[in-house]
Structure 1
Amino acid sequence: MKNKINKNQIVIRNVMLILLFIFVGLFGFSFYTYKTLESHVDYSNCVSYIPYLDTSLKNNY
């Protein structure tokens, strides 16, 4: 039984690490695209389509 519990803990830890990497990758990618859009595109056109960005932009400026 003890060996099985240890194997389950290792599997859970690996899954958590993979999910963490995926989450960080998605967050970094979205942040990167947000920055490039901000530098290249007039943002007032895109704001109406994305309510979350709309509120965050209003808070920032």
Structure 2
Amino acid sequence: MQKTTIAKIGYVTAAFLSFLMSNYLWFTGLREEGLYVGIWVPSILAFGGLMLAGRERKSD
């Protein structure tokens, strides 16, 4: 597998795990903590997109 594919899988997996943890916290009554962890999802995806865009730009 290419490094880019592995990176994409890693970022999406991290975002998905954050989403699952956020839901777990929310439904176990820790609502504020669940919201805090839920904010990580778009941050992880944005960071991943930024890193992958920079990687593609270097290869041009």
TM-score, with length taken from structure 2: 0.49
Bigger Rg, structure 1 or 2: 1
Q: TM-score, normalised by structure 1?
A: 0.49
